Structure 1
Amino acid sequence: MSKYDVAVIGSGPGGYVAAIRCAQLGMKTAIIEKYSTLGGTCLNVGCIPSKALLDSSHHYDDAVRHFEEHGIEIPGDVKINLEKMMERKSAVVSQTIDGIGFLMKKNKIDVYEGIGSFKDATHITIDKTEGDSETIEAKNTIIATGSKPASLPFIEIDKERIITSTEALKLKEIPKHMIVIGGGVIGLELGQVYKRLGAEVSVVEYLDRIIPTMDSALSKELTKVLKKQGVKFYTSHKVGGVERKGDEVVITAEDKKGKSVEFKGDYCLVSVGRKPYTDGLNADAAGVKIDDRGRVEVNEHLQTSVKNIYAIGDVVKGTMLAHKAEEEGTFVAETIAGQKPHIDYNLIPGVVYTWPEVAAVGKTEEQLKEEGIKYKEGKFPMRALGRSRASGDIDGFVKILADEKTDEVLGVHMVGARVADLIAEAVTAMEFRASAEDISRMSHAHPTYAEAVKEAALAATDNRPLHI
């Protein structure tokens, strides 16, 4: 029987990063993955393939709608080769997966393919796809089994016309009318992909706004921009039924006045969030407790009810984000090694990879009001930047919320070109507890989108932006 200092169950961003960090710290490490490829949901059917399709569809949209204004003329019609687009997406995924395999070899991490289940607190049985099984011993185990798409109890996902994000990433045709149930990150990103490619897209959301967990100003701006792009929104609509009739899907819902509404399309993307995945883990055998929402219970050290077993990522409480899982993977590895790491969950940024992008970190305006914290706001529009006018990306803004007395930055919220990258500046500033004035006095290269951060900080400091 092979013996390890650490065994990691699940090879998504949290799992493989945890394994690498454990190996770096001198621990003999194994990683167990049920599928034939490493990387989990993010690399295989999530973050990476969706961004590949977002970029490809963005290029097409630019060619159709914007090239001419840049003086670029294309003879004949611009055509979509969806098969080629999907091939490129798959190639990007394969390259990324191969990279994870390389990192496992580089760090001398043993990889097991199969379903890992607890025999007891220190032994894990691996049921392999070919039918046989193997048991390994681990002093410590990290559960990193991730999540899977959630649904509504009355919806039957047939994976053909009524689909989740997994199927939406490999369609063989462009929908005529895609109805998206759920106005969160995944639904909006994939909805924009197919809208760009020519589909009619309708988003049906139960709450009164899209991206409801983010600052309401971001929701308002993104709604305005996506409407301008042709996406239709039906907020405050409660879906009551989804039925497939041949190649047509019929969705019934109630609006906020209780009136019955019907939507018809050829595809329905169910995008109502994700739920923790612990199937086959046999947690009871190890004494690991699962809460009533299916999450593994952990303490502040991400330690389960069993002291040598930890859990990270989507399978525990908190936001379901790949980079949150990575931070937790590193945290647990260093904790096992006897170090004293820390994670500030308030500084885990959130991003929506539509175009324009949406990004945020820290407290929303709604949270500050709810908590009774007095704050000041600085806001700067992207359209006032020379860089934005040069690229044609004039939608959006940067908003900085700072403490009214101390000027410490409490939250930063952005909509605009490349704000997914730009938010790292805000995270860095807030990690060092910078004030709005600190940011306003830093030199920002001109012309860049980042100048909007400096200008918003100037606006928050004493209402003195330079360029509006």
Structure 2
Amino acid sequence: MSNTEEYNVVVLGSGEAGKYLAWTLASEGKRVAVVERRYVGGSCPNIACLPSKNVIHSAKVASYLRRAAEFGLPAADGPVDMAAVRDRKRKMVDGLVEMHVQKYRASGAELVMGSGTFIAPRTIEVVFGGGGKRTLRGETVVVCTGSRAQIDDTPGLKEARPLTHVEALELDRVPEHLVVLGGGYIGLELAQAMRRLGSRVTVVERNGALIHREDPDVTAAVGELFRDEGIEISTGTMLTRVEGASGETVRLYGTRGGADVMIEGTHLLAAAGRTPNTDGIGLERAGIGIDHRGHVKVNERLQTTAPNVWAVGECAGSPYFTHIAYDDFRVVHDNLAGGSRVTTGRQVPFCLFTDPELARVGLSERAAKERGTAYRLAKIPMGSVLRTRTLSETRGFMKALIQADGDRILGFTAFGVEAGEVMAVVQVAMAAGLPYTALRDTVFTHPTIAEGLVVLFSALPGRT
């Protein structure tokens, strides 16, 4: 390996944790290289979080236009120009990519665009699409290869060439009838967006409810929202085979409640899980172990089984959220500096960006009962928050779990307008160890959604 180039740090993959480690360490004087196969900045700014929210917002605007008469405005219910929706998204992505390129330049980290594979411990060979290759070795190496949509082995599914979120966000025409396979985050967000953009939509979920791990009142509320918007729901459906081709005609065969079912559509979106991008990158040649699900094995400090090799984000089995990947960056950065930061015990907030949003941090009622954790419950309809009435957005509820024999907030769930923003207020209180009374007694601006926290925590029953 006489042509091997030596670096202080080599990062394989430019996703959230990897890019922030690269920028930060390079700014601190380290010689850093980041190897990226395709998407500068990772999936979030290119094909996932931000592009999907861009399209979701276009869909929300479309829904407002259809509700125009409700607000005293002229009705507008014409067809959506899906190519224009796509182009708006592309323009945003181009700007984000340029922003990332500028950050690489400013930090001094080197961005190497090519396919990277481990050929030896802490040594990565990068092959370029136009020919040629380089070999990079780092004193420290970080694996940040992310995940991809999972296409399972249902007969005929792969042959049907289903859309994933990547292709769905590139559509230039509204599907006539989109069948969404999976009732989780990605499937639900895109199902509602496509329905609002003009598609007929059917969601097929193997479990008995959409987002089935959440509390029954949450799954019921989301199901009611979808039905009200004209989205067909087929839960408890086990597929046996798929026929046809997405973009033409596709048929899904399966069983539900002991009966045979067949669902036909023009397009199929596979959104029934994700798998880590750890295959085919030579981890075994670097002494980096993986678990039974394909995630890189890491400890609570995100160290792998190989010396001086770390793994971050989804490929390491961290919860599949960009904000958790950013915290993985902080964990590794602190540990490289001699600290002892760990991933255990950290908050894992989430927000489902349907309209309205679903947001939760901490324990759900389901989780509390499974753990045998006693709690007091405060719950109010979103209509009790007066701001929602000014917006004509009263759907949903807020609820909070409080210690049965104390004042600590155990968990918070909101299904309603701006739920994610309100959750952040509660999350800060939880992180600071504040009692629920701190929020109950705060003077919030009127009328805001956050003001609803006063109403919520004032509704908490007394200790028993």
TM over 0.5: yes
Match of 1:86 in 2: 86
Task: Report the 3-state secondary structure (helix = DSSP H, G, I; strand = E; otherwise coil) of the residue aligned with 2:402.
Answer: strand
The whole-number CA distance in structure 1 between the counterparts of 2:383 and 2:175 is 33
Please give the secondary structure, in 2, of the residue aligned with 1:359. Answer: strand
Equivalent residue, structure 2, for 1:278: 278
Tell me what 1:239 maps to. 239
Aligned to 2:71: 70
Report the equivalent of 2:188.
Answer: 188
**Matched residue type, 2:136:** I
Task: Specify the alignment match of 2:292 in structure 1.
Answer: 292
Would you say how many aligned residue pairs link Structure 1 and Structure 2? Answer: 459
Q: Which amino acid aligns with 2:26?
A: A
Aligned partners of 1:117 and 1:126 also within 8 Å: yes
The amino acid that maps onto 1:50 is: S
Length-normalised TM-score, structure 1: 0.94
Letter in 2 for 1:15: G
Give the drift of 1:410.
Answer: 0.8
Tell whether the 8 Å contact from 2:119 to 2:286 is kept in structure 1 after alignment: yes
The 5 A counterparts of 1:83-232 are 83-154=83-154, 156=156, 162-232=162-232
Residue 15 in structure 1 maps to residue 7 in structure 2? no
Q: Distance in 2 between matches of 1:453 and 1:125?
A: 54
Which residue number corresponds to residue 392 of structure 2? Answer: 392
**2:55 aligned residue (50, 53, 66):** 53
Counterpart in 1 of 2:33? Answer: 30
Report the Cα offset of residue 212 of structure 1: 2.1
Alignment partners' CA distance in 2, 1:155 and 1:316: 30
Q: 1:81 to 1:6 in 2, by over 3 A?
A: same
Counterparts in 2 of 1:259 and 1:156: CA distance versus 1, 3 Å: closer
Q: Compared with structure 1, are the counterparts of its residues 344 and 288 closer, same or farther at alpha carbon in structure 2 (3 Å cutoff)?
A: closer
State the partner residue of 2:8: 5
Distance in 1 separating the partners of 2:58 and 2:366: 35
Q: CA deviation at 1:86?
A: 0.6
Aligned-residue identity in percent: 29
Change (3 A) 1:454 1:23: farther
Query: Which has the larger displacement, 183-192 or 238-247?
Result: 238-247
2:355 matches 1:352:
no
Does the C-alpha gap of structure 1 residues 172 and 197 become closer, same or farther in structure 2, counting only changes over 3 Å?
A: same
Note the C-alpha offset of 1:228. Answer: 1.0
CA distance change for structure 1 residues 77 and 358 in 2, over 3 Å: closer, same or farther? Answer: closer
SS in 2 for 1:445: coil
* Gap regions ≥5 residues in structure 2: none
Distance 1:12 1:419 in 2: 27
Asked if structure 1 preserves the Cα contact closer than 8 Å seen for 2:12 and 2:35, the reply is yes
In structure 1, what residue type is equivalent to 2:13? Answer: G
CA–CA separation in structure 2 for the residues paired with 1:17 and 1:461: 45
Give yes or no for contact 1:123–1:135 (8 Å, CA) kept in 2.
Answer: yes
Cα deviations by residue, 1:401-421 (Å, 9 ceiling, x for unpaired): 111012211111111111122
CA contact (8 A) 1:241 1:251 kept: yes
Question: Do 1:254 and 1:261's aligned partners in 2 also have CA atoms closer than 8 Å?
Answer: yes
Q: Which residue of 2 aligns with 1:338?
A: 338
The 3-state SS of whatever aligns with 2:262 is strand
Q: Verify the 8 A CA contact 1:182 1:270 in the aligned structure 2.
A: yes
SS of 1:412's partner is strand
* Letter aligned with residue 253 of structure 1: G
8 A contact 2:155–2:240 mirrored in 1? no
Q: Name the residue aligned to 2:302.
A: 302
Equivalence for 1:252: 253
1:174-218 CA-partner distances (Å, limit 9, x unpaired): 112111111001001111111001211111111111112333322
Contact map agreement 1:346 1:363 (CA 8 A) in 2: no
Equivalent residue letter for 1:39 = G
Contact residue 187 and residue 271 of structure 1 kept, 8 A: yes
TM-score relative to the length of structure 2: 0.94
Aligned position for 1:466: none
Deviation at 1:108, TM superposition (A): 1.0
* Cα displacement (A) at 1:462: 3.5
Cα distance in structure 2, aligned partners of 1:226 and 1:345: 34
SS at match of 2:460: helix
Q: 1:155 to 1:458 in 2, by over 3 A?
A: farther
- Distance of 2:234 and 2:97 partners within structure 1: 38
1:263 — aligned with what?
263
Q: Does structure 1 conserve the Cα–Cα contact (< 8 Å) formed by 2:180 and 2:191?
A: yes
SS at match of 1:163: coil
Contact 2:165 2:269 in 1 (8 A): yes
Tell whether 2:8 aligns with 1:41. Answer: no
Moved more, 408-417 or 443-452: 443-452
1:89 Cα deviation after fit:
0.6
Q: Which ranges in structure 1 are unaligned for 5 or more consecutive residues?
A: 464-468
Structure 1 position 377, deviation (Å): 0.6
Equivalent position amino acid for 1:23 in 2: A
